[in-house]
Amino acid sequence: MQQRTNVGMKACGLRGICNLNLIVDYWGLTYLPQQISQPPIVNNQVLITNPPTPPNLYIRPEIACRFQNGQLIFRVFLIIVYDQNKNMKQYQHIIANTKGFMAIEEGQGLFKYAQKAAHLGPGLEIGSYCGKSTLYLGAGFHLNKQILFTIDHHRGSEEQQPGEEYFDSELFDNRIGKIDTLRFLRSTLEQAHLEDTVVPIVSRSETVARAWTIPLSLLFIDGSHTFESAETDYQCWTPHIMAGGFLLIHDIFPDPEKGGQAPFHIYQKAVASGFFQEIEMIETLGILRRE
């Protein structure tokens, strides 16, 4: 889907026959003004050579004319159009074949906000599993050459253990008698060529938090959904979100008949704290911004 962006985009037009300056601030990646001198008019057409843009942007010129004091005044606008899916196409096959619990619309939301956050600094995910959500986030951070940390003990959550509802025998390592998802995550990152973008941390989140000092542009909480674990993730990690950064929480179900309440509980807590502004809800993915 193609959409016009309204985040940091500026299109400066021309009046009469004069220079055209285009300044693009693409979510923190600033391109120096591009100037086209005295664009010629041939057969009532203004001939313009597009300035260079990243592969996921393209430019569509539009012209507006009006008469003023007997003089024709025209402006040429370069409309910046952003093709979000163009950057995800290379990952679609890998995502489709990666184990996980992430709806496509929610994954696209992760990708969208990862790109927005990446110009502020690195991000962090709690709950890598086999890497489906990590792919969406990693792709967004990769575009801005930024780092994504992802934390998981890789022994599976409570409901993924043998005999439980979401047990997957392929994830069970018979040699050690335990769930082991790390090998699947590493394979996912290798296939997606994101090993220089995503930094896996094999540990419990509260253990890592004890020594953490890096401000985060984005925090995605999708670990264990027990009340104790969700509360621990919230308390340990939200203080590290920088002003203007994003807090994303997965599996939010206001109706207890539809799902567990732990993620919804910490979402409500974040809103009530006064430190976060609600941005939007994409299915069960809640997005908030740190004030």
The residues carrying an active-site annotation are 225
Q: What is the DSSP string of 79-113?
A: EEEEEHHHHHGGGHHHHHTS-----HHHHHHHHHH
Q: Which residue has the tokens 């005295």?
A: 38
Angle at 137 between CA 136 and CA 140, to 5 degrees: 90
Pairing of strands 123-126, 148-152: parallel
The closest of 249, 245, 215, 244 to 234, measured between CA atoms, is: 249
Q: What spatial distance separates the first Cα and last Cα of the chain, rounded to whole Å? A: 30
Amino acid identity at 169: S
Note whether 143 and 194 are within 8 A (CB). no
With beta carbons less than 8 A apart as the criterion, state whether 223 and 152 touch. Answer: yes
In the structure, how many helices (H) and strands (E) does the chain have?
8, 16
Q: Which helix (DSSP H) or strand (DSSP E) does residue 88 occupy? A: helix 84-88
